């Protein structure tokens, strides 16, 4: 009887974990990003760095060219 109760609780906890994992989108669980998204993100980061003045216009153009070649 005690073993049956432990098994029922274990099954309920496992079901709850699987249900929560099913509800949470894959992007929020980890960085499972496709190639298209990483290039767009890299370009966004590059544009932000350029806007803050961290890199020169020439460096921005060179890095952007490299990113566009990847696609």
pLDDT in tens, 27-62: 565 554 454 556 668 888 999 999 999 999 999 999
Tell which residue, 47, 31, 46, 43, has the closest CA to residue 68.
Answer: 43
Residue recorded with tokens 């921005």: 60
Q: Is the pLDDT of residue 69 over 80?
A: yes
Q: What pLDDT score does 32 carry?
A: 47
Phi, psi of 66 (to 5 degrees): -60, -45
20 confidence band (pLDDT: 50, 70, 90): confident
Average pLDDT over residues 10-25: 90
- Quote the distance between the C-alpha of residue 61 and its chain's center: 26
Q: What pLDDT score does 24 carry?
A: 80
d(CA 22, CA 14): 12
Distances (CA, A) of 34 to 27, 42, 44: 10, 12, 16
Q: Is the pLDDT of residue 25 over 80?
A: no
């Amino acid at each position: 009887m005690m073993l049956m109760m432990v098994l029922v609780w274990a099954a309920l906890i496992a079901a709850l974990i699987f249900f929560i994992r099913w509800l949470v989108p894959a992007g929020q669980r980890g960085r499972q990003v496709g190639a298209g998204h990483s290039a767009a993100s890299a370009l966004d980061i590059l544009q932000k760095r350029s806007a803050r003045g961290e890199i020169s216009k020439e460096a921005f153009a060179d890095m952007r060219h490299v990113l566009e070649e990847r696609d």
